[in-house]
Amino acid sequence: MAGQADLIERIHHHREINGASLDATSAYLLLRGMKTLQLRIERQNASAQRVAEFLDDHRAVATVNYPGLASHPGHDVAARQMSGFGGVPASACTANLGAVETIVGPPATTSHVECTAEERARLGIPEGLIRYSTGIEDIDDLLAALDRDLAAV
């Protein structure tokens, strides 16, 4: 590699997060997936709303950050601007996003894995935050799993 070390590191970091380029199979799969995108997004939005409501009422959950909840500070704006509130409610428990399967985990191992704890803190991302990227599984199965897991907290 040639160039300034800090610039090379920034470029490497960007490539690690965003990828370099698509191969033919990935491009084909992307085009194929676009055909069911609307159905998957509608299902994710509906499921995420139910998950957020469930978590908001659960005793083991301190806060839920989801614009579909009337208690969210941005709810009114989101309701005016959006036809759905997204598939990722986040919660702070007292104790690959966008896939068809639900992915649950702290930002330290999912969305912000490349950040240090200090960087996450500076961004306002608490270490107790859990991101719940809702997939398209049966909502009753998702809620039952959440109920079972939260009972252990």
In the three-class reduction of DSSP (H, G, I as helix; E, B as strand; rest coil), residue 8 is classed as helix
CATH topology of domain 36-151: Aspartate Aminotransferase, domain 1 (3.90.1150)
- Alpha carbon of residue 143 to chain centroid: 17
The residues, ordered by sequence, that sit 6+ positions from 108 with a Cβ below 8 Å of its Cβ are: 115, 117, 120, 127
Cα–Cα dist 31/133, whole Å: 22
- Domain limits, the chain: 36-151
Q: What angle do CA 112, 116, 122 make, to 5 degrees?
A: 85
* pLDDT tens, residue by residue, 103-118: 888 888 877 888 899 9
Which segments of the chain does DSSP mark as H helices, in order?
Answer: 5-18, 24-34, 37-56, 75-81, 117-122, 139-151
Average pLDDT over residues 20-42: 90
* Sign of the dihedral defined by the CA atoms of residues 110, 113, 114, 119, in that order: positive
* Bridge partners, residue 148, by sequence: none
| 86: number of Cβ within 10 Å | 18
Q: What is the pLDDT of residue 67?
A: 94
What are the φ and ψ backbone dihedral angles of 129, each rounded to 5 degrees? Answer: -70, 140
* pLDDT tens, residue by residue, 93-151: 544 555 688 888 888 887 788 889 999 999 998 888 888 888 899 999 999 999 999 99
